[in-house]
Amino acid sequence: MDFASLLGRQLKDDEVVEVLEVQDMQVVYDFDRTHENLEDVYWAAAQASGFQLRFDQNQKLDVVFLYIAASEGFRPIARDEAGVPLYESFDEAKQGFTREGISFRESPGEKWWVKGDFGSNTRHYEFRDDALFRVTLSTQAA
């Protein structure tokens, strides 16, 4: 699935609604119930398929979490469904970004994460125990 192409789309866009319907996903409204001046957001999780969507207060999709390893009740996403390169290691991710001319930032010290800048969006690769754990796709505004 091309999750990156969904970033920035409205919750009610046909392409987004199709994903929600095919995956039988419920949308949960998460409002600032503690009055801490936090933005309201909307969540839609496909735990069996290994991904979660977050929509901002304007109902625009701003973050996609791809679970590469099982965690938090999510099964791993099928690798052929991720729609982005899945680097097996921190070093491989850095090499891939360098080879493609993508500017990136990395965690200081430990080899924990690498975040590539793709213009209108970013890709954040998180590693645990030297293995790819999760990929987060975000709009620049997120």
Q: What is the pLDDT of residue 140?
A: 84
Give me the numbers of helices (H) and strands (E) for the chain, helices first please. 3, 8
Radius of gyration over alpha carbons of the chain, in Å?
A: 15
11 close to 27: Cβ distance less than 8 angstroms? yes
How far is it, in rounded angstroms, from Cα 37 to Cα 15?
Answer: 31
pLDDT at 20: 98
Domain boundaries, the chain: 3-139
Q: What is the pLDDT of residue 142?
A: 66
The token duo for 38 is 């936090």
Q: Following DSSP, what letter does each residue of 53-89 receive, concatenated?
A: EEE-TTSBEEEEEEESS-BTTBPPPPGGGS-S---SS
- Write out the chain's pLDDT in tens, 142 residues: 999 999 999 999 999 999 999 999 999 998 877 777 778 899 999 999 999 999 999 999 999 999 999 999 999 999 999 999 999 999 999 999 999 999 999 999 899 999 999 999 999 999 999 899 999 999 987 6
Give the integer Cα–Cα distance in Å for 130 and 91.
10
How far is 94 from 105, CA to CA, in rounded Å? 9
pTM beyond 0.75: the answer is yes
